[in-house]
Amino acid sequence: MLRLLLPFFVLSLFLLLLTCAEEDPGIRKGRLLADQYCGSCHLVPEPDQLNRSLWISEVLPKMGAYFGHYAPYDRAFYLGPDQEKANIQHLYPLETTMDTADWRAIREYFINAAPDRLEEDAAEAPPLWELEQFAVREISAPLHQKLAPLTTLISFHEESGEILVGGPKRSGGSLDRFTNGSQWIDRRELGSAPSAVGAQHEMVLEMGSLLPSDFARGSLTQLRDSSTLLDNLARPVDVLRIDLDLDGQEELIVAEYGNLIGRLSRFEESTPGKFLPLTPLAATPGAIRLRRADLNADGHDDLVVLFAQGDERIDVWYSHAAGPKHEQLLRFPPSYGSSDLEIVDVDDDGKLDLVYANGDNFDYQPVPKIYHGIRVFLHRQGQYREEFFYPMDGVYGLEVADFDGDGDQDIAAVAYYVPPAERSLRSFVYLEQLNFPEFRGQSFRKPRDQYYMCMTRGDIDGDGDQDLLLGNFAGYLPDGMPGENARTPGQPAYLLLENRHR
Ligand SMILES: [Ca+2]
Ligand SMILES: [Ca+2]
Ligand SMILES: [Ca+2]
Ligand SMILES: [Ca+2]
């Protein structure tokens, strides 16, 4: 009898709980209002995606301000410095645009349903084996005896063998050149920190501001003669050439991340080096990664874009003679912190999949989040479905390739916002694919004062396998911007992870 009764009892308790949850009119009202107001700009977050104190002190005040509810501050607080004010004041209404009772209901819904602390150990940290696939070498330049490297950009050009390493300085930015034999060549001074270089190392994108900003002072510069190709860009972070209208000439796409405002802009090259703006592909901030891939397999590369701010999402613009055709592929909650995207056929079924990382944790003091990590969305019947998740706090960059040469795709990742206890082991991980969705993790112990914010890959030593380059940002931003004078002299600008396959 007990066997029969028990499930019935559990079931009725479950129904009772469900009924109770649905009967609370306050929660229900708050949730419906959140769907209506929050859902007009981004995916509606769940209260348990942040802890209660972050909702109260950081997120809810910012969100209320968009509807004219400025307490505990005032409107001027949100408008910021004059240079930004002109660009963002339209976002902050002079009168409230949401009923005060409705705003109170939304606040109460999130505050009451949020946990005191975020769940920290829902899944046990995956085991890691000693790094065997790569040999780790530290590469520094003579100038790093005195200056701490703050690497935000690392890029390898296979034809010339040139490695470019860039970052901010106290004022301005710099771009160092190295040979593929790890010899430092020279340094170029820049107006601000670089975020990306063209595929042929022909141009460099300067952010204007290391942190998200609504003062558009970024630029695109030709490296050959230092001429300015584009200026007044809103904190640009990626650039790509692609022929989206199939007229035989590639347009220039710039991810203007911005902050509260930004855009995904598109330019036509009228004469060499002269770019004319076309209608932006998107008028929203947060575009962080631009990728080329023939997603619909019609023989023409398409533009796939990861957006990381507010309305976090992956969008595609399919190349088409009548103009690019836009489609949204995936959407994520605003607390996700999307950070990187690669497009690869991970399960070898002939269809391109999305390998995605979310681990940006710098909108406020970082707290570990169990939903930070690496996800693989497999292409299945016209949709992308999450079929793999690897938890990784603070993951910031991904590379996907068949690193061990056994025919399947492996994943390498770096993380920046890693909790102190995990930092030495989990700032880098190499996931060797065994049999999808099974991967085996390897790592190495990171020295102190090394933090990896960027990574790239390529056959650096020309022996036929893919090596990795990890940029060293020798400081941890939540502790404050590191000084230019190195605390520990001789810090490497980057690490070369030399593949042992060949
Ligand atoms: Ca296509
Ligand atoms: Ca596939
Ligand atoms: Ca492999
Ligand atoms: Ca190699």
Instruction: Specify the pLDDT at position 361.
Output: 84
**Other CB atoms within 10 A of residue 149 CB:** 25
Instruction: Specify the pLDDT at position 1.
Output: 30
Instruction: Specify the pLDDT at position 475.
Output: 86
pLDDT digits (tens, 9 = 90+) for 79-128: 988 888 989 999 999 999 999 999 999 999 999 999 998 876 656 789 99
pLDDT digits (tens, 9 = 90+) for 211-225: 889 999 999 999 999
Is the CB of residue 253 less than 8 Å from the CB of residue 281?
yes
Task: Work out the pLDDT band at 7, boundaries 50, 70, 90.
Answer: very low
Task: Work out the pLDDT band at 185, boundaries 50, 70, 90.
Answer: very high
CA-based nearest residue to 411, from 386, 385, 387, 440: 440
CA of 374 to the centre of ligand 1 (A): 26
Query: Residues of 345-369 as b/e, b for ≥16 C-beta within 10 angstroms?
Result: ebbeeeebbbbbbbbbbebeebbbb
The span from the CA of 156 to the CA of 166, in Å, is: 12
The span from the CA of 473 to the CA of 454, in Å, is: 9
The span from the CA of 201 to the CA of 428, in Å, is: 26
Q: What are phi and psi of 295, to 5 degrees?
A: -70, -35
- Average pLDDT rounded to a whole number, residues 151-164: 97
CA of 305 to the centre of ligand 1 (A): 14
CA of 316 to the centre of ligand 1 (A): 10
pLDDT digits (tens, 9 = 90+) for 128-145: 999 999 999 999 988 887
Please, what is the average pLDDT of the chain? Answer: 91
pLDDT digits (tens, 9 = 90+) for 373-429: 999 999 999 899 999 999 999 999 999 999 999 999 999 999 999 988 899 999 999
- Average pLDDT rounded to a whole number, residues 351-357: 98
Answer whether the bond into residue 72 is a cis peptide, omega within 30°: yes
Is the pLDDT reported for residue 207 higher than 90?
Answer: yes
Is the CB of residue 180 less than 8 Å from the CB of residue 139?
no
CA of 264 to the centre of ligand 4 (A): 35
Q: Is the Cα dihedral 306, 311, 312, 314 positive or negative?
A: negative
Query: Residues of 224-237 as b/e, b for ≥16 C-beta within 10 angstroms?
Result: eeeeebbeebbbbb
Give the ligand at the shortest distance from the Cα of 304. 1
Is the pLDDT reported for residue 285 higher than 60?
Answer: yes
The span from the CA of 276 to the CA of 98, in Å, is: 40
